[in-house]
Amino acid sequence: MTSDFTPNEMMTIAASRALSNKDVCFVGIGAPSAACNVARLTHAPEITLIYESGTIGTAPDVLPLSIGDGELCETALTTVAVPEMFRYWLQGGRISIGFLSAAQLDRFGNINTTVIGDYRKPKVRLPGGGGAPEIATSCGQIFITMKQATRGFVEKLDFYTSFGHGDGGDHRQRLGLKTKGPTLLITDLAVWKPDPESKEFTAVSMHRGVTRDMVQETCGWKVRFSDRLEETPSPTELELSTLRDLQRRTELANGGKKGQ
């Protein structure tokens, strides 16, 4: 293990560890893309990465700047039309993991990427849902990655874009959803998992140097900590060098524009 790493690097590597060779993963741009490709280049070389543009089994040498980046199509096993991607692959139940992020997140893993403030007169209008609402309900399970801050971790969403566990408990089942929904939240401070009964996200491990106060101060609701709260294992030299090499290649390829 190494002693020199950033909170962002810890978040990305912790997310990568949750992936395995058997996973078929719907990848988002940014931190999810970095995490998935670190997994592919280290412990999960047989993972199948799918991007929203229709690229299947892609193995990019650099991180894509968008889902339309040529690097994805050039290195994919095949590329299909977007309607086929959603109807056959996603809604057909063929994708095990979906990676999402959020502008706002609540304790039950519900996501807002639409507006900040009142919908009709928003303070900020965000990019919207894209394919995230379908990903949130159709992938086998959802992993969420985002930095902790009170403006993002909120008691109540300004808008429900993507459904997590709703009001908690068996809300998904009552709506007829057969997938697990959000099962993992990885931030720059901690790793969270939903309580088996209430489905409220609970901090199960904190990254090195992080305190309970730091986790609470960056969260808009009363944090639940696991009775078996652990310290997240620090990145290994292999994990860190793989991530940094990937980022370095990306920066060089894009003239200084980072793909994360």
Provide the 10 A C-beta neighbour count for residue 181.
25
- Among 52, 71, 134, 239, the active-site one is 52
Element (H, E) at 205: strand 201-206
Active site residue 9: no
Tokens of 171: 């809300």
Return d(Cα 258, Cα 260) in angstroms, integer: 6
Report whether 167 contacts 108 (CB < 8 A). Answer: yes
Q: What is the DSSP string of 68-103?
A: T-HHHHHH-SEE--HHHIIIIIITTT---EEEE--S
Return d(Cα 108, Cα 200) in angstroms, integer: 5
Contacts of range 13-16, beta carbons closer than 8 Å, 24 or more positions apart? 13/38, 13/235, 13/239, 13/240, 13/243, 14/186, 14/191, 14/207, 14/232, 15/99, 15/143, 15/145, 15/186, 16/42, 16/239
Q: Could you list the active site residues?
A: 52
